[in-house]
Amino acid sequence: MTETTSPLATTAPAARDLANAIRALAMDAVEAAKSGHPGMPMGMADAATALFTEHLRYDPANPAWPDRDRFILSAGHGSMLLYALLYLTGYPDIDLDEIKKFRQLGARTAGHPEYGHAAGIETTTGPLGQGISNAVGFAMAEAHLRARFGEALVNHFTYVIAGDGCLMEGVSQEAITLAGHLKLNKLIVLWDDNRITIDGATDLSTSEDVGLRFTAAGWAVDAVDGHDAAAVSAAIARARLATDRPTLIACRTTIGFGAPTKAGKSSAHGSPLGAAEIEGARKALGWPYGPFEIPEAILDAWRAAAKARAAEGKAWGERFLAAPKELQEEFENAFSGFIPAKLIAEINAFKAKISADKPSVATRKSSELALEVINKAVPTTIGGSADLTGSNNTLTKGLGTFAPGSYEGRYVYWGVREHGMAAAMNGMALHGGVIPYGGTFLAFADYCRPSIRLAALMGIRSIFVMTHDSIGLGEDGPTHQPVEQIASLRAIPGLNVFRPCDTVETAEAWAVAVASQTTPSVLALSRQNLPTLRDAHTDVNLTAKGAYELLPAAGGLAEVSLFASGSEVEITVKARDILAHDGIRARVVSVPCMELFAAQEQAYQETVVGNAPCVGVEAGIAMGWEPILGVPTYFVGMDGFGASAPAPELYKHFGITAEAVADAAKAAIGKIG
Amino acid sequence: MTETTSPLATTAPAARDLANAIRALAMDAVEAAKSGHPGMPMGMADAATALFTEHLRYDPANPAWPDRDRFILSAGHGSMLLYALLYLTGYPDIDLDEIKKFRQLGARTAGHPEYGHAAGIETTTGPLGQGISNAVGFAMAEAHLRARFGEALVNHFTYVIAGDGCLMEGVSQEAITLAGHLKLNKLIVLWDDNRITIDGATDLSTSEDVGLRFTAAGWAVDAVDGHDAAAVSAAIARARLATDRPTLIACRTTIGFGAPTKAGKSSAHGSPLGAAEIEGARKALGWPYGPFEIPEAILDAWRAAAKARAAEGKAWGERFLAAPKELQEEFENAFSGFIPAKLIAEINAFKAKISADKPSVATRKSSELALEVINKAVPTTIGGSADLTGSNNTLTKGLGTFAPGSYEGRYVYWGVREHGMAAAMNGMALHGGVIPYGGTFLAFADYCRPSIRLAALMGIRSIFVMTHDSIGLGEDGPTHQPVEQIASLRAIPGLNVFRPCDTVETAEAWAVAVASQTTPSVLALSRQNLPTLRDAHTDVNLTAKGAYELLPAAGGLAEVSLFASGSEVEITVKARDILAHDGIRARVVSVPCMELFAAQEQAYQETVVGNAPCVGVEAGIAMGWEPILGVPTYFVGMDGFGASAPAPELYKHFGITAEAVADAAKAAIGKIG
């Protein structure tokens, strides 16, 4: 037998050979891009090979198969691991060309995996801890849909690869403890236990017994040599048998495995290895092929493995067709993302009743009333609150509790885990088949902001119910009083921020939010009671226009326009009366959603803004109002933090009153000051 | 012996009686305020009594004694526990009148403890998880100062009372694992293990073995009956003996202890108990006194206990006076909060050298250069990074590592714990004697936003070094590219957000930040190289004015003013040249800090803004620029998320170029479009 440079010349590729294909692509793509993270893909290539060739159920030819297993690369900087896998297994979106264009403008192969760029990318990761927390939501959605539709239609695993960074982030602890509590046995996390972070060895900054921490959270814990694909595969097989707990598999790995001088070091993490190091790695790995060259035998082996893994998809298709027609329809409706058409009529009926009854309630209560309608009409909503159910008014009758081992309920008690909740909600939305909404106080939007941002970046339907939306919450004081949160949420691109003024607008906001398949929403809701201002019913969803004239000027052209959102619209209505008494004609414009208003046609916007001087009122900072109000800006609101006192006193103390608005209006039109 | 309604009539008050005084005040104050949280103070009264009468070293007559033990009420909603303790032990700021004004406008006794309202309130708490994370910073500051000044001057404990909510928040996990890693043996946490959250029993949302989790994090764990003051005291005594780990003491308690029907239930948590329940509690507790009535014997006993605890303060004073004069001075300088006067001269020398050398470096590198000067001149700085040391450029020569058991170093490897870092930095700043700064990527400001907000609310000197401040970071893509972060940080009241354009401005920003004793700062710094634009030296700190004319119009009055911050100032300078070529006179205004600019006198602001049409340039959203630029707003920047590609391509792709700025300028002055 002659010497051969390739171990593959005469035998079928071994798992290590398959893994080396990942390593080589990662090295080469990072080198070509002159930036990126080779270390993690090289370290986890063996474990990923075990997962993708022996366990994960997926079908590159049918990547949206609803019952596929989900794979989440929580350590998103290792994106080349995912791209290499998608190419090797034959996902059409990622061909070799895309790999070569890694990190270039317009490529599907962005620096971090971006949801929507290619089939097979289940979520956007990169901000650490988000992926593993998304995964908990994926597993929750799976569990719920399994309970709803039965195991024949829904029965899949959620697999995660997470690094030390993911596990050090607080959000992951929230998600992990929730997953353990909920007994999400179909969630399996492969931890890339390489003991290296950017700054150096992990023992520079942590000494935690990670396994014990997961045990404390109710997980099964396993540990293997991450470079022994067979051992990893066996551990996954064991994990799949768990019946009452998720599993953590610690995969002991060497970052940059194969790199002659950088393996096991921080230097392998986030920079190209360099030509010499790559040459050395090729030798050490027994990989004599050129850059981006994958020998046919290895590509064939990968494709064959993928084909084998896809077989389940065909079996599922048969099961689906064998299911009762009604169930098929329900299933398809759920995964279509569309909401039942009847909802619009029901929301309109609700609006009509409210306009007639004119209740005076807090918009958080209005939200509950609207949710009673929505949750009845839309079977895919899953609600919850981060331990503020009675304050957020997120629970409606008959939802049932999503409880450990009993997942048919549609209400989640998230615990005091705002960030974990938001990240898991994103996972639910990404999974499909459910529409998640979850509540906390608006001040604590800050706690979940990284996940809200990702929802916006991904364009997914996560709905955040955020109550106690101003100093109107009263005595709890400045730590709990949003002042800058509404502005700072409006700053996030691609997020609809609603601040409705009464029950009708709240119902309209909800109608938009549940129908917005590609836009997340925040509903900022009052603690305090507000009158019904929309007392003349119309089927038109005025909130969907973002802003509209609520009250015209009486007795002629408006001399001044008063703009407000939420709880301050009532104040502008009173100010309009004061001004009328003083002989000044004022109109009132309600602005429940600036983003939707900015999306209207120019002509509509101009009509609503009008030609009269403008005054804005909101119990928050002025930032963000200037495009509507102009500069200099006449604005009645907050310019610092709040205080602890009963709400009515605070409104007086901070000068957010009808009298102050009337004064500002007079100033704006030059009649005083 | 006749029957007596009071157990105190004939004997010295027992610990339970002292604790009942807390309970009664909490019930009464919440009832009078018609809002608040009686359950936690009633549950933890016995444990707090044990701590305040037998362990905590404090002196109500000298509350700022630097070596006092620190007490952090992490479960801030239980504020009446703290206020009751401060009153009973004789802190002059909190008299009975203040207790009666609980949660009223202007009272020191806000709904949640507000730092600065009264001596004895060491930090603002309420947002859950913050206090315990602050406490880790307190303990770090203590450890460092102990290493620096010796045990005779610094040797105190940090005690925390935390609830289930604090422990469920992810931020606390970050802090806990760090504290364990760092072996902070003088940190002792009393966990109010009452098994109740707002939504119900904790087992509704968590099943975690909390003790095991802390064990995994390297803590000592103890568990006692939280209503047995002697047992709690013994546990604290044991904890104080720990030499290489912090201690968690699980205090098993009943929320609302004493309330006849609400004890042990969520209903005791966050609402007044009601007259009947209070009457029943008074009976059950054997507390026959009227509302707000504390019998003399009990008040005397509390005051006597406080006096005993204060004895250590006097001993410390003697030790301090016995210390070498030089050490005394150094100590006083450190705790004064002032920075050495020589720093200004050194910064000016650095600026002069830079203006002459004109280096082209990234402002993150400029920051490192400035820090080399500052860290040498200011011995109280403690730097660090959340695992991005080499990227944030936060480490300077000779700082040394703040390491487990060896605390003299001034650099902290925070690990991948942005939120924990920021919260602990706040604790360090609050402790005094140190000036903390810490780094992460600007995009991940979102991860630590709740703590940044609290730094601003408290008015403390936490300095956040946030690099990679725009699409200029390039290939890592939209998850890592700040777009809305600068605007959303500017939205936080009381926070200085600096975005310097070159090394000189970076040094000036640092000079302001380290000297701002009552204002936190964010420095937004570029990844990419920037030229030195400030090439004419002046000793005046122009950045301290927030904005200033960098370049006047050449050849006459300006026809247009170009405003920019950070990396885009260079672009406006180039645009000015393009415009000059086209015969248009443009001036350039650098805007390194909008908050400081807004604080200048009106006349200065008007001069800087000028009378010409304005164009703004920033690689972020326009929000926040309108007050300077006017409406309609001519702005060159971002209006959505970024993308993954090399930075120069991204600037072109998103149209943030000198040509685009010149075009915008022409549009602004009506010369095109």
Cβ of B213 within 8 Å of Cβ of A209? The answer is: no
The answer to the question of residue B362 being in a domain is: yes
- Residue A173 and residue A385: Cα distance in Å, rounded? 18
User: What does the pLDDT read at residue B423?
Assistant: 98
The distance of B494 to chain A (nearest Cα, Å) reads 7
Tens of pLDDT, residue by residue over B158-173, are: 999 999 999 999 999 9
The whole-model pTM stands at 0.98
CB neighbours (10 Å) of residue A437? 29
The answer to the question of residue A9 being in a domain is: no
The answer to the question of residue A4 being in a domain is: no
Q: With the C-alpha atoms ordered A404, A407, A412, A417, is the resulting torsion angle positive or negative?
A: positive
User: According to the annotation, is B611 in a ligand binding site?
Assistant: no
Cβ of B640 within 8 Å of Cβ of A125? The answer is: no
Cβ of A388 within 8 Å of Cβ of B124? The answer is: no
**B520 and B561: one domain?**
no
Contacts of A124 in chain B (CB under 8 A): 479
Last residue within a domain, chosen from B531, B565, B599: B531
Contacts of B477 in chain A (CB under 8 A): 103, 110-112, 114, 126
DSSP-based three-state secondary structure for A611: coil
The distance of A6 to chain B (nearest Cα, Å) reads 34
Does the annotation count A296 as an active-site position? no
Known binding residues of A for thiamine diphosphate: 77, 126-128, 165, 194, 269, 444
User: What does the pLDDT read at residue A195?
Assistant: 96
Tokens of A27: 């090295």
Partner residue facing B170 (CB), from A171, A198, A216: A171
The answer to the question of residue B303 being in a domain is: yes
Q: Where are the alpha helices (DSSP H) in B471-625?
A: 485-490, 503-515, 569-581, 594-598, 602-609
**A381 and A505: one domain?**
yes
Among B446, B471, B484, B452, residue whose Cα is nearest residue B623: B484
The answer to the question of residue B88 being in a domain is: yes
User: What does the pLDDT read at residue B309?
Assistant: 96
- Residue A497 and residue A546: Cα distance in Å, rounded? 10
Last residue within a domain, chosen from A474, A498, A531: A531
Partner residue facing A207 (CB), from B218, B388, B650: B218
CA angle A207, B171, B167 (to 5 degrees): 90
Contacts of B103 in chain A (CB under 8 A): 475, 477, 644-646
Contact A59, A310 (CB under 8 A): yes
Last residue within a domain, chosen from A505, A531, A557: A531
**A265 and A410: one domain?**
no
User: What does the pLDDT read at residue B66?
Assistant: 97
Partner residue facing B212 (CB), from A128, A208, A215: A215
**A509 and A558: one domain?**
no
User: What does the pLDDT read at residue B12?
Assistant: 75
Partner residue facing A645 (CB), from B103, B164, B165: B103
**B521 and B555: one domain?**
no
The answer to the question of residue B579 being in a domain is: yes
Partner residue facing A33 (CB), from B110, B389, B475: B475
User: What does the pLDDT read at residue A13?
Assistant: 86
**A505 and A571: one domain?**
no
Q: How many domains does chain B have?
A: 3
Closest alpha carbon within chain B to A208: B217
The distance of A465 to chain B (nearest Cα, Å) reads 16
Cβ of A650 within 8 Å of Cβ of B105? The answer is: yes
**B523 and B551: one domain?**
no
Cβ of B170 within 8 Å of Cβ of A170? The answer is: yes
**A576 and A507: one domain?**
no
Cβ of B199 within 8 Å of Cβ of A633? The answer is: no
Q: For position A469, which CATH number holds?
A: 3.40.50.970
A to B CB pairs, distance under 8 Å: 348
Q: For position B633, which CATH number holds?
A: 3.40.50.920
Partner residue facing A483 (CB), from B168, B198, B493: B493
Tens of pLDDT, residue by residue over A299-350, are: 999 999 999 999 989 999 999 999 999 999 999 999 999 999 999 999 999 9
Residues of chain B with pLDDT under 70: 1-11, 672-673
Contacts of A104 in chain B (CB under 8 A): 644-646
User: According to the annotation, is B165 in a ligand binding site?
Assistant: yes
- Per the prediction, chain A carries an average pLDDT of 96
| Mean local confidence (pLDDT), A132-149 | 98
Among B37, B20, B107, B32, residue whose Cα is nearest residue B73: B37
Contacts of B413 in chain A (CB under 8 A): 199-200, 204-205
Cβ of A454 within 8 Å of Cβ of B479? The answer is: yes
Known binding residues of A: 37, 77, 126-128, 164-165, 194, 196, 269, 364, 391, 444, 468, 476, 480, 527
Known binding residues of A for Mg(2+): 164, 194, 196
- Residue A389 and residue A441: Cα distance in Å, rounded? 11
Separation in Å, CA B104 to CA A344, A473, A654, A657, B275: 45, 13, 14, 19, 20
- The kind and range of the H/E element at B196 are strand B196-197
Cβ of A444 within 8 Å of Cβ of B127? The answer is: yes
Q: For chain B, how many helices (H) and strands (E)?
A: 25, 20
Cβ of A414 within 8 Å of Cβ of B205? The answer is: yes
The answer to the question of residue B451 being in a domain is: yes
Q: Which residues of B are catalytic?
A: 418
- Residue A647 and residue B108: Cα distance in Å, rounded? 17
**B521 and B557: one domain?**
no
Pick A7 or B43 by higher pLDDT: B43
Cβ of B413 within 8 Å of Cβ of A205? The answer is: yes
**A304 and A355: one domain?**
no
| Mean local confidence (pLDDT), A445-468 | 98
Cβ of B417 within 8 Å of Cβ of A169? The answer is: yes
Contact A669, A584 (CB under 8 A): yes
**A40 and A77: one domain?**
yes
| Mean local confidence (pLDDT), A498-514 | 98
Contact B58, B89 (CB under 8 A): yes
Mutate to test the interface with A, among B40, B168, B458, B594 (most CBs of A within 10 A): B168
Contacts of B211 in chain A (CB under 8 A): 216
Closest alpha carbon within chain B to A456: B641
Contacts of A490 in chain B (CB under 8 A): 623
Known binding residues of A for substrate: 37, 269, 364, 391, 468, 476, 480, 527
- Residue B408 and residue B418: Cα distance in Å, rounded? 23
- In chain A, % of residues over pLDDT 90: 97
Out of A277, A368, A418, A559, the active site residue is: A418
Cβ of B644 within 8 Å of Cβ of A110? The answer is: yes
Q: Which ipTM was obtained for this model?
A: 0.97
The confidence band for A11, taking pLDDT boundaries of 50, 70 and 90, is low
- Residue A179 and residue A169: Cα distance in Å, rounded? 16
User: What does the pLDDT read at residue B13?
Assistant: 86
**B111 and B256: one domain?**
yes
Amino acid (1-letter code) at residue B433 = G
User: What does the pLDDT read at residue A12?
Assistant: 75
Cβ of B210 within 8 Å of Cβ of A216? The answer is: yes
Among B215, B139, B165, B124, residue whose Cα is nearest residue B40: B165
A551 phi and psi, to 5 degrees? -135, 125
B131 phi and psi, to 5 degrees? -60, -50
The distance of B188 to chain A (nearest Cα, Å) reads 18
Closest alpha carbon within chain B to A214: B213
Cβ of B457 within 8 Å of Cβ of A478? The answer is: yes
Domain enclosing residue B606, as ranges: 545-671
- Residue B663 CB partners (closer than 8 Å, separation 6+): B672, B673
pLDDT of A296 over the 50 cut: yes
pLDDT of A139 over the 50 cut: yes
- Residue B168 and residue A178: Cα distance in Å, rounded? 10
Mutate to test the interface with A, among B191, B479, B651 (most CBs of A within 10 A): B479
Contacts of B595 in chain A (CB under 8 A): none
Mutate to test the interface with B, among A103, A134, A206 (most CBs of B within 10 A): A206
The answer to the question of residue B536 being in a domain is: no
Contacts of B454 in chain A (CB under 8 A): 479
The confidence band for A2, taking pLDDT boundaries of 50, 70 and 90, is very low
Contact B288, B7 (CB under 8 A): no
The distance of B312 to chain A (nearest Cα, Å) reads 34
